[in-house]
Amino acid sequence: MTESLQTRDGRSVLRMERWLKHRPEKVWKAVTEPERLADWFPGSVTLDLRAGGALTFELDGDGDTGTITDLDPPRLIAYTWGTDHLRWELHPDGEGTRLVLLHTFDDRAGAASFAAGWHTCIVALDLALDGRAGADPGVDDIALHEQLLTQFGLDAGTVETGAAGWQVRHERQLTRPADGVWGALTDLAPPGASVRGRILEHDAEEGGSVRWELVAGTGHGTRLVLTHTGADGDPQAALAGDRARIAQLLDRLEAVPTGR
Question: What are the tens digits of pLDDT across the range 34-43?
Answer: 999 999 999 8
Is residue 147 located within the same domain as residue 162?
no
Is residue 173 located within the same domain as residue 144?
no
Question: What are the tens digits of pLDDT across the range 49-107?
Answer: 999 999 999 988 889 999 999 999 999 999 999 999 999 999 999 999 999 999 999 99
Give the N- to C-terminal CA distance of the chain in Å, as an integer.
Answer: 33
pLDDT interval class at 234 (50, 70, 90): very high
Is residue 177 located within the same domain as residue 133?
no
Is residue 70 located within the same domain as residue 106?
yes
% of the chain at pLDDT higher than 90: 92
Is residue 145 located within the same domain as residue 174?
no
The DSSP secondary structure of 208-242, one letter per residue, reads SEEEEEEE--SSSS-EEEEEEEESSS-HHHHHHHH
Strands (DSSP E) along 44-83, which ranges? 44-47, 54-59, 62-72, 76-81
Is residue 257 over pLDDT 80? no
pLDDT at 1: 67
Residue 164 domain flag: yes
Q: Are strands 11-20 and 2-8 parallel, antiparallel or unpaired?
A: antiparallel
Is residue 130 located within the same domain as residue 176?
no
pLDDT at 260: 42
- The CATH number of whichever domain residue 121 belongs to comes to 3.30.530.20
Is residue 75 located within the same domain as residue 135?
yes
**How far apart are alpha carbons 232 and 84 in whole angstroms?**
40
The residue segments making up the domain with residue 165 are: 158-255
Residue 90 domain flag: yes
Residue range 235-256: mean pLDDT, rounded: 94
Is residue 73 located within the same domain as residue 174?
no
